Structure 1
Amino acid sequence: MSALALVLMSVPARAQIYDPRSPVCLHVFGELEGERMDCIFSSFAQCQAAASGRPATCLMNPYFAQASAVPPARTGRRVR
């Protein structure tokens, strides 16, 4: 049993990745599925459907790179 524990400890853990293209993350926790963050959802409804019946919750992605709604600044020159 201790040999298995040594092997598991020597394998590098998978890094949590927050995909900046997706606004909603599914935080899965618990012993059965392991703890992880899946930032692959475009809406809360989509995430909640995936979380249904599982030890999970939906969160806003803090690294979501939202497209800017502000138009680019004008230079003051008019084109005729």
Structure 2
Amino acid sequence: MLRSFGLIAFVGALLMAAPSHAQTFDPSFPVCMHVYSGANGGGGEWYDCSFTSLPQCRATASGRSASCDVNPYYPVNAAPPRPRYRRGG
């Protein structure tokens, strides 16, 4: 019994010490560019989520090993902010 408890505690400590990954997509912009810089580039691949439209992203990705995707974390169905009215007088 004590041995199985020790094993469970050890596995739990290992899982807690494992590094976690940050969110890949920035939810502030609707379009992300997936940049591939493979084995010869040495930098791996990453996402650049700083584009407001697909044509803007495609123009930036032109000539690079990159593709443009719609950001899955962009809040499309979010309600627009309510206008704020100022009272005069």
Counterpart in 1 of 2:47? Answer: 37
Q: Helix, strand or coil: the match of 1:21?
A: coil
Q: Which runs of 5+ in 2 are unaligned?
A: 1-18, 83-89
| Structure whose alpha-carbon radius of gyration is higher | 2
Q: Distance in 1 between matches of 2:44 and 2:53?
A: 23
The alignment-based identity, stated in percent, is 50
Counterpart in 2 of 1:68? Answer: 79
2:26 to 19, 23, 26: 19
Q: Which runs of 5+ in 1 are unaligned?
A: 1-11, 72-80
Q: Distance in 2 between matches of 1:29 and 1:16?
A: 18
Q: Is the 8 A contact 1:16 1:36 kept in 2?
A: no
More helix by share: 2
Q: RMSD of the TM alignment (CA)?
A: 2.3
TM-score by length of 1: 0.60
Counterpart in 2 of 1:7? Answer: none
**Alignment coverage as a number of residue pairs:** 58
Q: CA shift at 1:34, angstroms?
A: 2.8
Deviations 1:45-80 (A, max 9, x none): 1100110000000000000023326x9xxxxxxxxx
Q: CA shift at 1:25, angstroms?
A: 0.4
Q: Judging changes above 3 Å, is the alpha-carbon distance between structure 1 residues 43 and 37 closer, same or farther for their aligned structure 2 residues?
A: same
Q: Distance in 2 between matches of 1:50 and 1:28?
A: 11
